[in-house]
Amino acid sequence: MKFKYSNSNKRYYTLDYYYKNRFKQKIIKLSLNAGFSCPHLKSGGCVYCSNLGSGEYAGDIKDDLITQFNKIKTVMNKKWQGKYIGYFQARTNTYAPLDILKEKYETILKLDDVIGLSIATRPDCITDECLEYLTDLNKRTYLTIELGLQTIHKTTAELINRGHDLKCFEEMVKKLRKRNIDVVVHIINGLPYETKEMMIETVKYLNTLDIQGIKIHMLHILKNTKLEKLYTNNPFKLLTKDEYIAIVCEQLQYLNENIVIHRLTGDPKVEDLIEPKWLIKKIDILNDIDKYMAKYDIIQGQKAIKK
């Protein structure tokens, strides 16, 4: 059976399908490091965050944004040809005075064949002034704001030192959607001491909100992070590959069919990864998700609670 929002054998709403149907051509996201910091670093930061602020595959911070863009574009063009989205990925990409934000974003928007921006940030780090600017940007280009949530569970959020509560996240989603700005939410499976039921509850909660996309990550332990120390001193159970695949597939059953799937697994650098080692083979994980969904006749949204 072919899922209606897929142009391949996928049984979920693929990002490639969404882009090609909206823009009628291949769209390539280019990950950038604009040199932003994070306000949460003052209180220690999230325990899993690396020194690169989740920007392992973003451009080299030593290069200016245009140089980063062009270098990555050259590499990508060996595989694909199309239009581009500038992805501000590393750390908190709305954490700066408005004039700096404008300078960074507009620099990329002026480049040839750029059709939009994707901006990764925290729900507690978008000022009203920034919101008004994002509203203007959204009228001029294709704009997506990526918000980190990770989990809806208070005990877990406190353990990983997330630094904001669920109310803050929900209010920011509503503010962005009031301005017709697309929202993509990041969640993490396998957070310390969370059960499968807790991970499913996080997805069910997201169905109650007006979000346009989701990124699902597997928790991974990187060198030189607080999570490494936590795992070393108080080892907790990590999901096996089979457990992760089963949980993701069940989450997809509960996730509304109109929510675009931007990611289904993490993508850590091999040299920095401590555990789980099975994350290294990303393609194998994605292929096994496809096989599992086909085997059990799973389709995104089968069990979704409609908004």
33 occurs within a structural domain? yes
**Domain with 147 in it:** 15-295
How far is the CA of 243 from the CAs of 1, 138, 157, 250, in angstroms? Answer: 24, 39, 22, 11
Q: In this structure, what token pair is assigned to residue 26?
A: 């291949």
pLDDT of residue 50: 67
For residues 32 and 87, give the distance between their C-alpha atoms in angstroms, rounded to a whole number: 6
In a domain, 307, yes or no: no
Question: What is the full per-residue pLDDT of the chain (307 aa) written as tens digits?
Answer: 667 888 788 999 999 999 999 999 999 999 999 999 777 666 667 777 766 545 456 778 899 999 999 999 999 989 989 999 999 998 899 999 999 999 999 999 999 999 999 999 999 999 999 999 999 999 999 999 999 999 999 999 998 888 789 999 999 999 999 999 999 999 999 999 999 999 999 999 999 999 999 999 999 999 999 899 989 998 899 999 999 999 999 999 999 999 999 999 988 889 999 999 999 999 999 999 999 999 999 999 998 755 4
pLDDT at 150 (0 to 100): 96
pLDDT at residue 277, as a whole number: 95
Which DSSP letter does residue 261 get?
Answer: E
Q: Is residue 249 included in any domain, yes or no? A: yes
Geometric angle at alpha carbon 218, from 265 and 186, rounded to 5°: 75
Q: Give per-residue pLDDT as tens, 92-140.
A: 999 999 999 999 999 999 999 999 999 999 999 999 999 999 999 999 9
Q: Which of 45, 28, 233 is nearest to 115 (CA)?
A: 28
CATH number at residue 142: 3.20.20.70
Residue 31's H or E segment, with its range, is: strand 27-32
Looking at the structure of the chain, the number of domains it has is 1
pLDDT at 307: 46
First to last CA, the chain: 25
Determine, yes or no, domain membership for 6.
no
Helix ranges (DSSP H) in the chain: 15-23, 65-76, 98-109, 128-140, 154-159, 166-178, 196-206, 226-233, 241-254, 282-295
Q: Do 95 and 37 touch, CB atoms closer than 8 A?
A: yes
How far is the C-alpha of 33 from the C-alpha of 88, rounded, in Å? 6
Pairing between β-strand 273-275 and β-strand 221-222 as defined by DSSP bridges: antiparallel
In a domain, 217, yes or no: yes
Q: Is residue 179 part of a domain?
A: yes
Within 10 A of 49 (CB to CB), how many other CB atoms are there?
A: 21
Does any domain span residue 302?
Answer: no
Which residues 6+ apart lie within 8 Å of 241 measured at CB?
Answer: 276, 278, 285, 288
In a domain, 213, yes or no: yes
